[in-house]
Amino acid sequence: MGGLNKLKLEYFDLLSPEPTPLYRMINSKPEKIGTLKPITPRMIAKTIGFTDYNWNLSVLLLNVPNYFELIGKKDEYTALSDEQKQSLDIFDIITTDIGIREMIEKSLSFFMCETVKYIDKYKSFITLEEVEFEGDTFECVVGAINNDLYSQIVSSILQLNGIHPKDELTCKVSKKAQMLLDKINKAKEQIAKNNNSSQDMELANIMSKLSAKHNSINILNIWDMTIYQIYDQFNEQNHQNIINIKEMNYSYAGGDFDATEWYKRLNK
């Protein structure tokens, strides 16, 4: 049973091609929050497209400093005392700003199996699933994402999509989306310093290069792998390439070589 007892999902959950149910413990009993979709490139291509996929990720990467920069109030935020800054909560901010809140609803609804709507009465995002009964369709509540759970849900979504919350989101997007992304990522210097390497790490390029290099993954079947599986196998392929070089050096010149290195876990 998937859970939120710790911030990161288990490696097995991340690799799984199946939806990942999320639970929280209430009085020692599991209470379902919702279910995360296993996102694949084919799903992205057939539904919202790559630009909107990255847009949805960028919305979830929003934090307090980025928000003030986004709305043109960076100086006001900078002028706040440390105590005042620490009192600001991203959940309170995004649920107060209707425009941002609607973006969050759209993003969560894409990455989760349920439809997600914010209910002001409960100060929570509610997860809803459609149920048919006697020819009629009803929306039934599955669970709720409140202030205590929001950051953990977002972290789980980002992990399943190969992104650490501190990572840079690098993608080619429309001008409108790029304006928001530039504001969100302006304080980060990775794109400016490593623009070429950032392009190298774009999903499309990784799919292409992994398909060309891997023994069994190809440009046809990679579309049905989950995003996490693609990044995982890309990292494993790089790891194997390094080991192959070490093996060749060892066979030629001798020295130290760990024959068990090939199965050392990279995801820790």
The answer to whether 191 and 185 are in contact (CB under 8 A) is yes
- Yes or no: say if 19 and 35 are a contact pair by the CB < 8 Å rule: yes
Instruction: Give the N- to C-terminal CA distance of the chain in Å, as an integer.
Output: 20
Q: In terms of Cα–Cα distance, which of 253, 258, 50, 240 is closest to 161?
A: 50
User: What are the angstrom distances between the C-alpha of 159 and each of 91, 162, 166, 227, 234?
Assistant: 19, 5, 11, 10, 15
The string of pLDDT tens digits covering residues 36-85 is: 999 999 999 999 999 999 999 999 999 999 899 888 999 999 999 999 99
- Residue 199 confidence (pLDDT) above 60: yes
Tokens of 132: 């048919």
CA distances from residue 49 to 40, 112, 184 in whole angstroms, order as listed: 11, 17, 21
Q: Which residue has the tokens 């009993």?
A: 29
Least confident of 102-106, 125-129, 184-188: 184-188
| Confidence at residue 121, expressed as pLDDT on a 0 to 100 scale | 94
Q: Which amino acid is at 27?
A: N
Helix runs in 24-146, H state only:
41-46, 49-60, 64-70, 74-79, 82-87, 90-96, 98-111
Ranges of each domain in the chain = 11-193, 202-268
Residues 6+ apart with CB under 8 A from 122: 144, 146
Q: How far apart are CA 79 and CA 75, in angstroms?
A: 6
What is the model's pLDDT at position 197? 54
The counts of H helices and E strands in the chain are 14, 5
pLDDT at 191: 36
The confidence score (pLDDT) of residue 117 equals 97
Cα dist from 189 to 38, 74, 181, 193, 194, whole Å: 31, 17, 13, 6, 8
Asked whether 58 and 163 are in contact (CB, 8 A), the reply is: no
188 pLDDT above the threshold of 80: no
Burial class (CB in 10 A: 0-12, 13-18, 19+), 114: buried
- For residues 60 and 169, is the Cβ–Cβ distance under 8 A? no
Instruction: Kindly report, residue by residue over 127-155, the tens digit of the pLDDT.
Output: 999 888 877 888 999 999 999 999 999 99
Residue 235, SS3 per DSSP:
helix
**Which amino acid type is present at position 19?**
P
Q: Which pLDDT score is estimated for 241?
A: 81
Q: Are strands 20-26 and 29-36 parallel, antiparallel or unpaired?
A: antiparallel
pLDDT in tens, 19-37: 999 998 888 888 999 999 9
